[in-house]
Structure 1
Amino acid sequence: MLTTRYLTGSPNWLDLGTPDLQGAAAFYGGLFGWAFQSAGPEAGGYGMFQLDGKTAAGGMTVPAERSGTAWTLYFQSTSADDTAKRVRDGGGAVEHEPSDVWDLGRMAHFTDPAGAGFATWQPGTNKGLDLVNETGALCWAELYTPETDAAMRFYRSVFGWDEFAVPLPGGDSYTTVNPAGAGEDAMFAGLVPLEADPAEAAEGPYWLPYFEVTDTDAVAASATRLGGTVRTEPIDLEDVGRIAKLADPYGARFAVITSVAREA
């Protein structure tokens, strides 16, 4: 599971690119109780979504004409420059070259060979998100991709991930990933074939973040009331929890889950 004891290859940051940061702050504030805190004028409008003063995500404005309205997941690296090289060597693309963010850390943005966007964060004084795996915070992620085996080879070459197959009813399995050598208890994401979900297949490859909530149905209803969209109605997954796939008013896709352990 996700923890703030970040390891190489584990998710350690998450941010939202949106054409209306004020509107997005109102939406997520109503949904998760987040409060937006600007990082100051020198940050170009970038800021933090916080719960009780702890950072659960970042956010920034992107031009409306861009197609960048989305959540971006960052994975920890000991060297953003080395990660960029491995991305290129593996057939991916470097969308934004590694650059320093003051003394906070070093970052870079990429797309994998299938076209899914992701990023890396090399920690400096900012070690990563303050909150994960708690109510209102990132707790899981899924990569929707045409070829899960090819995706696994790529991300293993970039971050050294291990994989673990979780059996599903009917004889299928769900490929999960975890930092190298950390064991299956450290799994933080799953890889899903695009063809397994027609709604996702229509949109193309991407990383979908999941946020923990106390009541999936109530959050889905609130998303609609606040101007968002319910992409997949709440459903139960045996021994996992109750999930729903949503989108904010500007099209950024995400999911929520009330995990079985929290229900218990």
Structure 2
Amino acid sequence: MPEVTSAYQPGTPCWVDLAAPDQQAAIDFYSSVFGWTGEIGPPETGGYAVCELNGKPVAGIMAAMTMDGQPPPPTVWTTYLAAADADATAQAVSSAGGTIQMPVVDMMTLGRMCIAADPAGAVFGIWQAVDFPGAGIVNEHGALIWNELNTTDRSAAAAFYQASFGIESAAMEMAGAENYFALKVGDRPVGGMQPMPEQMPPDTPSHWLTYFSVPDTDATVEKVTAAGGAALQEPIDMVAGRMAMVTDPQGATFAVISPKSMDLG
């Protein structure tokens, strides 16, 4: 499903965005790595930049905002899960043991959203589409292809996302994917979940990791490092393709993968 023109099914990752200390530098970096186009938006949207690939929205980049007396927020990619009713979903999140970090708000006529965290602390967004469904192109090189939950409590996370969004989890029964779980909406895998990998630093919090598809993982890592980023995990071959974990110059972590098929689901 490379092009998306209607609202995503509830529970499906539908959008990703980045809050960066230097918004323009972030736009320039991802444009050089993935071929995106984007510019700082108008004041009425807080300057939010909707980056595009082939004329379709692929991701958002905004300026990180620091509240008086508060430490600056982490520079991270946020995964948004689709919801038919943001208010009802936020209530379900709270009832299932999650926390609402930013209450539901209207984003002009685009939709309604909030920011939440699951019981293990993984932060995510909730998006109720009105005029804006989310990513207009996925599973294409340079676009979002996978969202993965790395968690310190897999059993609790599975129960939470099932109760909040109706997302089911099932072990992936294939060589090389032991202890890896597919997150499913209906019968369709829409993301992955795994216990926190052993190679992660011991204080790494639970988090959602964004994967972007690329035609050549090794060449993309070279682009990332040439543009001031770094490789956290050098390219390796996996069941789904050849992947690497990298960070941009401002510290945001993401993964790139040259998939064996263009639709991991």
Deviates more, 1:2-11 or 1:41-50: 2-11
Farther off after superposition, 167-176 or 157-166 = 167-176
1:261 aligns with 2:261: yes
Is the Cα–Cα contact under 8 Å of residues 2 and 140 in structure 2 kept in the other structure?
no
CA contact (8 A) 1:46 1:59 kept: yes
Task: Please state how far the C-alpha of 1:8 moved relative to its aligned partner.
Answer: 0.9
Aligned to 2:156: 150
Change in 2 beyond 3 A, CA 1:77/1:170 = closer
Q: How many residues are aligned here?
A: 256
**One-letter identity of the residue aligned with 2:164:** V
The answer (yes or no) to whether the contact 1:2–1:140 under 8 Å persists in 2 is no
1:217 aligns to what SS in structure 2? helix
Say whether residues 1:136 and 2:142 are aligned partners. Answer: yes
Q: Note the C-alpha offset of 1:130.
A: 0.7
TM-score, reference length from structure 1 = 0.92
Which aligned pairs between 1:22-41 and structure 2 lie closer than 5 A? 22-41=24-43
**Which residue of structure 2 aligns with residue 225 of structure 1?**
226
CA displacement at 1:200 relative to structure 2: 5.5
Give the distance between the partners of 2:27 and 2:134, measured in 1 at CA: 20
Of 35-44 and 212-221, the range deviating more from structure 2:
35-44
Q: Distance in 2 between matches of 1:107 and 1:170?
A: 37
What's the offset of the Cα at 1:72?
Answer: 0.6
Which residue of 2 is the match for residue 62 of structure 1?
A: 64
3-state DSSP class of the match of 1:188?
Answer: strand
* Structure 2 partner of 1:163: 169
Match of 1:204?
205
Give the distance between the partners of 2:101 and 2:224, measured in 1 at CA. Answer: 31
CA gap 1:50/1:76 in 2 versus in 1, 3 angstroms: same
Q: Which of 77, 87, 93 is equivalent to 2:93?
A: 87
Please show how residues 119-130 of structure 1 align to structure 2 within 5 Å. Answer: 119-130=125-136
**CA deviation string 1:102-160 (max 9, x = no partner):** 11100000011111100111011111111111110110011110121110100111100
Residue type matched to 2:210 in 1? Answer: P
Asked whether the 8 Å contact 2:79–2:210 carries over to 1, the reply is yes
Residues 3, 136 of structure 2: 8 Å contact kept: no
Which residue matches 2:192? 190
Q: Distance in 2 between matches of 1:200 and 1:222?
A: 25
Displacement of 1:170: 7.2
Distance 1:118 1:72 in 2: 6
Q: Deviations over 1:164-199 (max 9, x none)?
A: 2212437934211111xx21xx212111111x3322
Whether the 8 Å CA contact 1:167–1:173 is kept in 2: the answer is no
Separation in structure 2 between the aligned mates of residue 170 and residue 161 of structure 1, nearest angstrom: 23
Which ranges in structure 1 are unaligned for 5 or more consecutive residues? none
Q: One-letter code of the match for 1:222?
A: K
Sequence identity of aligned pairs in percent? 39
> Which secondary structure state, in structure 2, belongs to the residue aligned with residue 122 of structure 1?
strand
**Over the residues paired in the alignment, what is the CA RMSD in angstroms?**
1.8
Contact 1:75/1:120 (8 A) holds in 2: yes
Which structure has the highest helix share of the two?
1
Q: Counterparts of 2:177 and 2:16 in 1: how far apart (Å)?
A: 34
Conserved? CA contact 2:38–2:52, under 8 Å = yes
Mapped partners of 1:58, 1:257: distance in 2 = 20
Shift of 1:45: 1.1
Give, as a single letter, the amino acid of the residue that structure 1 aligns with 2:204: E
Could you tell me which amino acid in structure 2 is paired with residue 199 of structure 1? M
Q: How far does the alpha carbon of each residue in 1:29-72 deviate from its partner, in whole angstroms, 9 at most, with x for none?
A: 11001111333221111111111221110110014741331111
Structure 2 unaligned runs (5+)?
A: none
Q: Please say which of residues 158-167 and 221-230 is displaced more in the overlay.
A: 158-167
What is the alpha-carbon distance in structure 2 between the residues aligned to residue 216 and residue 204 of structure 1?
26
